[in-house]
Structure 1
């Protein structure tokens, strides 16, 4: 079994079984896992999705409402409402077409589940749909998607978030606690961003600058696109002074997201403060060699002591990777483990 779990798993999670994670040969290093796991090409089969636009915020400064685009893969009409609907939420600068999203989508759909691949606001080429920016505190977007799915007849929903998407999912459910919609049956976070401040600072460490630079290039390019689409709302002045994730969060997210500064943003939206309130079966997967995700000891303790949480902590696996030997499978351990968990709560 995996290295660490809650000793008091809820009845809904006791039937959940998993295998220990063994890293693929040559990929025992967290950086190698992260790079290979997120960039190796994959062949995945999914039916063509239908599109669902969900309004998550009203008109802003004379512009229209903010909408998020979801790509939906439904089972046949006769069984759709009774099947588990899995909502997949991507990470920072990802989209509904990120490889880990598509990988999980293919597994869940082929297992008979409905799948909704959610784009965060402005992501996946949808900048024109959103006068506002996305950030790690937009749990109201997850709430709006859940409401839309319930209105469309979904009876059982599981929310799955990778990295930053994990923070959104856990924040949404934790804030509501026992008042969470009964249709939401399960939660999962793979390499979830629970503690923002130490993780943001870890990205600026020398060995992680390659990730930070990649994120910043994409994020700054997005701000420039937003400024062209909504010139009254955004300015590109001063972007050249941004050299770190903390700089970006302090100058861009705080300014346009309504926070005093980066520290206020991190403290206000970190889902670690709500994990103790999670009240439905929850799976958390975290690797100790994640290059830049940092978890505070008190957060880990909250995960271990909440009886609704199954916490799987591995020695290796990197960030959102978890590549194991590809034997009778494509070797994506987190995806396989996640599917087992979803099947355990779908019965």
Structure 2
């Protein structure tokens, strides 16, 4: 233990928010130092990463949906968990190398945020990937706890704090008190499902095929959960499903709002289910404390209004919701000695 603490003086210990859409890395004392898409470009049929292992993140995201037959742009995480072990390892290795330098003197200790609903096998996959990617020691922290700490909620106090973290692959809903999770539910419906709903709507209503990046742009520019401003329009380009030729069309924010209702209702059901299972004393606290929204999905217009209407509780959006989990892992790093007992590591 003393030797490990001594090594930590020379290592660049880091916290990683290993997300389905984006991976954020923060370093103890420096804050967030890296924010890149969780995308890797590989030679088709192999797991060999292009550009000598450097076609990761922004470089690879630009290739999504635009690659020739010999190249594949892969997102190695699906629904918040590892779907491709080797490619995740290559991605983590690239990010650790980028933050830590090419040949670090001492390997870093790494805190990784994982969805609360993942299985023991999925946790083992994250631990093994991080170790093989160059981590000296790996600790896992549950995403809702990291998000709540990053959002400055009083999680260590004897009062209820509720977080709804809407990421790319999973939505985490948790009620916390006394530095632990009292009630939690993880559902694999989140930002990616909102994009998928937009893609399906364009197919059904306009016979137009669009890609993931176009769907995401539509969601960001005109998507909403409730009517919060005047309806707007956006021009969408894609491939006509009948003629097979490129085509463009104009759609309204109102029809995108309708298209998003199904995945949003799943998220709302998860929030209300978690509240229904909550202890009465904690429920009483939430009347005053309300709900905090984090994750990229918190930026969808009107989502706080919809959750507030469904629950009757005040709903606030965290400051910089996209980085809440990463900031939480950074705070964990600073208090590693105190909180180590509450985390899972490779020595379990």
Q: Identify whether the pair has TM-score above 0.5, normalized to the shorter chain.
A: no
TM-score bin (small chain): under 0.3
TM-score normalised to structure 2 length: 0.28
Q: TM-score, normalised by structure 1?
A: 0.28
Considering only CA atoms, is the larger Rg found in Structure 1 or Structure 2?
A: 2
